[in-house]
Amino acid sequence: MKRPKAIQSAIAIALPGLLAVLIFCWVLSYGCTFSLGRESWSYSDHRLTRQFKGLLLHRGGFGFGTSAGEWTEGGIDPSVDDVSKPRIRFRTWEPFRTPLHPENPDSLLTRAGFQWLEGRKTVPAVWEDPFAMAPMWFLILLVSGPMGLWYFKRERGVRRLREGRCRTCGYDLRATPGRCPECGTMPAEPAA
């Protein structure tokens, strides 16, 4: 099944752009942490509770997780309009409030960057931070692999047409320019 030219052009523009953004985020994640997610606050019984669910770029990896906890200390102002209004937030700080430790620090997957991070503290209040993390290099490979394969196939087809061969199977079409005798493909009409 052939894709329309507009879709092929969109893929040709979008994939390299996505790859450039991923590489930029990968390099930037070593300098600071970025979080994007849904944050909500609630106040009851002199306790301020915060909950975060979302994405995280942290130390060369990306992750998904939650961060939930409460403050029971003084200085809480329940009149803040953030309380009880869930919002989508983009922050340049770590959403977790506990030291995170990998579940299996010596495993091969953890050393490669795939981690299940959990943090928990109970003083002065309960706070939990579970995050699943994967390395950015893995995401970059997932994007660049299909992009490289698509580019290779496209360039191979263009080179075959330029050399007078069938775009599909590579058979020499100089003797039969109307149809490929090997696979039956009709060559593309030259643009007028």
Q: Which range has the worst mean pLDDT, 31-35, 125-129, 132-136?
A: 125-129
User: What is the C-alpha separation between 1 and 167, in angstroms, rounded?
Assistant: 14
In angstroms, the Cα distances linking 90 to 42, 48, 62, 66 are 19, 21, 15, 15
User: What is the C-alpha separation between 97 and 107, in angstroms, rounded?
Assistant: 25
Angular region, 59: left φ>0, alpha ψ -120 to 50, beta rest: left
pLDDT in tens, 69-90: 776 555 545 455 455 566 666 6
Residue 150 phi/psi, 5-degree rounding, is -65, -45
* 8 A C-beta contact, residue 31 and residue 16: no
Query: Which tokens belong to 7?
Result: 């879709």
pLDDT in tens, 109-127: 888 888 887 777 666 667 7
Residue 59 phi/psi, 5-degree rounding, is 50, 50
User: What is the C-alpha separation between 56 and 136, in angstroms, rounded?
Assistant: 11
Each domain of the chain, given as residue ranges in start order, spans: 31-136
